[in-house]
Chain A
Amino acid sequence: MFGLGFLEVFPLVLIFVSLFGIITTNNAIKTIIYMTILNAGVITFWIILGSEYGTTTLPPIMVDDIISQTNYLERMADPLPSALMITAIVIGFAVTAVLIIILISIFRRYRSTDWRVIVPLAKKDYKGEFKPFEEDIPATPYPAKGKGPIISEYIKYPGPGLKREEKGGVK
């Protein structure tokens, strides 16, 4: 189908799985994870493009070991996709870092990583009805003076924060 080779099916499976995940998950952290899987799938697809001879593909380096093999020029991998994908990987890394930074800000403001909580609170915020939480979460993940590690603070507010309403946080 669409002229796909055998190997190219695997990255497409990755892509479809991640798209399914993005559409179904309620957890913002998982959304970001699925996004990186999607990126990885696309990058793998590119890399496989450059090596149509499968496992017998040779690296594009002119050394004696490789030159001595039969049909070495034809069997060499296309170096351009690898060169381009290095850039794509770096960009993907940077984007993921920015996404996580924003997610930390979101968590500080809305105290949840669940889209079902974040979206209604953002709507309230838009209308000016949202009251920011008074107590502040420490900025660093390292133990502050006389306090335990912040990681436990995060665990206190579990992902699907739907029970927040019972605690009186959200009104």
Chain B
Amino acid sequence: MLPYFVIVPVLMAIFLFIFTSVKSSRVVAIFFQLILVGFSGYLVYLTRSESILEFVGSTDNFLSIVLYAFDFNTILIGLTTVLFLVVIIYNFHQEQGKMFWLLLFIWQAVLLGILLSRDMFNIFVMMEVAGVVVTMLIMTKRKTRSIYDAIFYLLANVLAVQFFLLGMAYVYRLTGTLDLHLIAERLALVAQEDVTQLYLPYALVMTPIAFKCAMVPMSIWVPKAHGSPGAPTGVSAILSGMYIKCAVYLFITFQGVFAPVANHAFFVILGAVTAISGAIMAMSNHNAKAILAFHTVSQVGLIIFGVSLGMGDGYYSDYAMLGGLYHLVAHALFKSTLFLTAGIIKRSYGSLDAYVVRGVLKRMPIVGTAMGLAILGIMGAPFFIGSISKYYIAYGNDRFSLFFWLNIIIGLATIISFIKYGAMLFGKDPGIKGEHPKIDKPRLISVLIWSTLSLFGGLFGAQFINYSFESYVYRQSAGYGATANGSLLTTFTGDYMLGMAGYYEKAIWWILSVVVGYLLFRYVVKGNKVLKKLSYLDMGIKGIATCILVFFAALLISVGFM
């Protein structure tokens, strides 16, 4: 069953490429996508009890390509297929041309391939193909600035992925295999002999993955790729919603594979720095797409922060891990909603300037409501989706420890950057009109589906976490590749529904943060000249290459010393 998750999207891509001009071909595409969504749901159900392993090409572990579905990656697979369904509906009427549909579906195949594959070389190939596909999707409008964004993204991406290839060579030299489970087993044996042998491959493999996770100082590619003005809205939504999550998935996987040398403290600190710096950059911009893109950097930093806290040995915290994983899902929901609504605003107003667009709620009530829900979710308002994940990350640590305060600061920075964004909902309509002032129905439907999901994710968050991540987090604490599938951890049960006392405390913190955030926004951030200078930061390809090398050196040194 697993290979079909990669093959079917490719066949759909070819089908749509041939029949793009026939409008009913898109109905067929939606139909097939619905089947794919159904099967991924079935996969989620199956993997609750046991994981699925399939060998493609041979029955041997060494020679075949291994596809592996387990309780964590099937959740992401389900999310990917649903998000693509939403984007297909969103683009139903849009005449994007043949290439758009071809690339979109190949991209889906590649993403599902990254998530399913347990073979290191396969992951490399998928990463490269995804890089090229994303580049071509970004530069759909070739006569805009998007071409610069495209070449910047592709060059930096290719450079980073070469590190991965080199690191893979070292791993192959040490272990003689490319299957991730075997690598994990053998690296543990190698580490028993001489742990220093693992430093270089670890740094080489983690650098490109950290690049894809947009860690500081390499995060400058994100606003270019995700916030490129010429890129189609659906593409931006998938980039921020799912593509960067695949990198986080790889991050978690490889931290597990390199468990003997994995440096969690380094990524905890860097995650927090990334989260805060991303939010500051988001404050400095006033283009809605750029704000959202920088905000992705910030939120992915928060996810890495939570996940690394969860995986570290000294301060092991299952709650932080659960919070990080749930925030991964939550961010996919609300950020995609925000990108899709931004696309509708752009068509209706003809502008995306957060200081110009006003009165969205009045002009487009449904779109405005969806956007408002997503903003409340991203701010972590009580009873919304972001609050639960942030609660778990914050309270996974000792109360009032350094990490707790870091979490409060990150939340505050998020709130400040979204006060400006939320102002677009209210106020007096400026009366400007874009090319398509009328909203077409497919767009409305897609936004509604996605924002409803994010609302339900908040209301039933605890149950969702219980269903999707509990067994995985339990196995994580047992080590990478532990086969104790289905053994749900009983110690958590009962603790999952947030106690009302904890919730009141969380609500008080949130209201305090909003008040402080508004005051800071009003008197410090608004019209700040230093921030204004930050708004367009471009270091060029030489700068990003230097950043990648600096990151690599820093990681190598930190692994050696810590």
A42 in the interface (beta carbon within 8 A): yes
Q: Is the CB of B145 within 8 A of A122?
A: yes
Instruction: Give Cα A121–Cα B265 distance, bound, in whole angstroms.
Output: 40
Interface size of B in residues (CB-CB distance below 8 Å): 39
Which residue of chain B lies nearest to A104 when distances are taken between CB atoms in the complex? B147
State the CA gap A115–B121 with chains docked (Å): 33
- The verdict on A31 contacting B145 (CB below 8 Å), with A39-B162, A102-B150 known, is no
Assembly CA distance A95 to B125 (angstroms)? 12
8 Å CB contacts to B: which residues of A11-41? Answer: 15, 19, 22-26, 28, 31-32, 35, 38-39
Please report the total number of A residues contacting B with Cβ < 8 Å: 45
Closest to A81 in B: B172
1/0 per residue B522-560: CB within 8 Å of A? Answer: 000000000000001010111001100100000000000
Choose among B124, B143, B158 the residue that contacts A35 (Cβ–Cβ < 8 A): B158
Question: Could you tell me if B536 and A99 are in contact, using CB atoms closer than 8 angstroms?
Answer: no
Of B66-74, B132-140, B373-381, the one touching chain A: B132-140
On chain A, the residues within 8 Å of B200 by CB distance are: 2
Query: Known pairs A99-B151, A105-B139. 10 more at Cβ < 8 A?
Result: A23-B549, A25-B542, A28-B541, A32-B155, A88-B165, A98-B132, A98-B135, A122-B148, A126-B229, A132-B143
> Which residues on B are within 8 Å of A, measured CB to CB?
121, 124-125, 128-129, 131-132, 135-136, 139, 142-145, 147-148, 150-151, 154-155, 158-159, 162, 165-166, 169, 172-173, 197, 200, 229, 536, 538, 540-542, 545-546, 549
Q: Is the CB of A123 within 8 A of B132?
A: no
Contact residues in B for A91 (Cβ distance below 8 Å): 125, 128-129
- What residue of chain B has the Cβ atom nearest to residue A119's Cβ? B540
Chain A residues within 8 Å of B132, by CB: 94-95, 98
* A-chain residues with CB within 8 Å of residue B129 when the two chains form the complex: 91
User: CB distance B147 to A105 under 8 Å?
Assistant: yes
Interface string of A78-120 (1 = CB under 8 A from B): 0011001001100100110011001101100110000100110
**Interface membership of A72, Cβ < 8 A:** no
Which of chain A's residues have a CB closer than 8 A to the CB of B131? 95
Q: Identify the 3 closest CB pairs spanning chains A and B, nearest first.
A: A122-B148, A125-B145, A102-B151
**B165 contacts across to A, CB distance below 8 A:** 42, 46, 88
CB pair A22–B542 under 8 Å, yes or no, is yes
A31 in contact with B155 given A24-B542, A95-B128, A122-B148 (CB within 8 Å): yes
Asked if A168 is an interface residue, CB under 8 A from chain B, the answer is no
Task: Known A22-B541, A22-B542, A119-B540; judge A105-B159 contact (CB<8 A).
Answer: no
Bound Cα distance A109, B149 (Å): 13
Q: A115-B542, A119-B538 are in contact. Are A19 and B549 (CB under 8 A)?
A: yes
Q: How far is the CA of A72 from the CA of B166 in the complex (A)?
A: 28
Residues of A within 8 A of B128 (CB): 91, 95
Asked whether, in the complex, the Cβ of A22 is within 8 Å of the Cβ of B159, the reply is yes
The answer to whether the Cβ of A3 comes within 8 Å of any Cβ in the partner chain is: yes
What is the predominant secondary structure among interface residues of chain B facing chain A?
helix
Q: How long is the Cα–Cα vector from A104 to B155 in the complex, in angstroms?
A: 15
Residues of chain B within 8 A (CB-CB) of A122 are: 145, 148, 538
**A95 lies within 8 A of B158 (CB):** yes
Contact A45-B172, Cβ < 8 Å, known A38-B159, A91-B129, A98-B154: no
Which of B147, B173, B545, B549 has a CB less than 8 Å from the CB of A49? B173
Pull 23 A–B residue pairs with CB atoms less than 8 Å apart, ordered by A: A19-B549, A23-B546, A23-B549, A25-B542, A28-B151, A28-B541, A31-B155, A35-B158, A39-B162, A42-B162, A42-B165, A49-B169, A91-B125, A95-B128, A98-B136, A99-B154, A99-B155, A102-B135, A102-B154, A103-B151, A110-B148, A119-B538, A130-B145
A127 CB within 8 Å of chain B:
yes
Residues of B near A81 (CB, < 8 A) are 169, 172
**Minimum distance in angstroms from B541 CB to a CB of chain A:** 6
**Which of A28, A84, A118, A130: most chain B Cβ within 10 A?**
A84
The answer on a CB contact under 8 Å between B536 and A126 is yes
Known: A87-B125, A122-B538. A35 touches B159 (CB 8 A): yes
Decide if B166 touches A45 in the complex (CB within 8 Å).
yes
Given contacts A22-B542, A31-B541, A119-B538, contact A42 B169 (CB under 8 A): yes
Chain A 125-168 residues near chain B, CB threshold 8 A: 125-127, 130, 132
Which A residues are CB-close (under 8 A) to B155?
31-32, 35, 99
* Residue of B131, B169, B229, B536 contacting most chain A CB atoms (<10 Å): B169
Asked if B147 and A84 make an inter-chain contact with CB atoms under 8 angstroms apart, the answer reads: no
Given A22-B541, A105-B139, is A125 in contact with B148 using a C-beta cutoff of 8 Å? yes
Partner of A115, one of B147, B166, B540: B540
A102 to B149 alpha-carbon distance, docked (Å): 10
Residues on B with C-beta less than 8 A from A103 are 151
Cβ A19 vs Cβ B545 within 8 A: yes
Chain A positions within 8 Å of B154 at CB level: 95, 98-99, 102
B121, A23: Cβ atoms closer than 8 Å:
no
Q: Point out the residues of chain B lying under 8 angstroms from A110, CB to CB.
A: 148
Asked whether A123 and B538 contact (CB < 8 A) given A22-B159, A35-B155, A45-B166, the answer is: yes
**Set B121, B143, B166: member contacting A109, Cβ < 8 A:** B143
The chain B residue sitting closest to A102, CB to CB, is B151
Interfacial chain A residues near B159, Cβ < 8 Å: 22, 35, 38
Question: B144 — which chain A residues lie within 8 A by C-beta?
Answer: 125
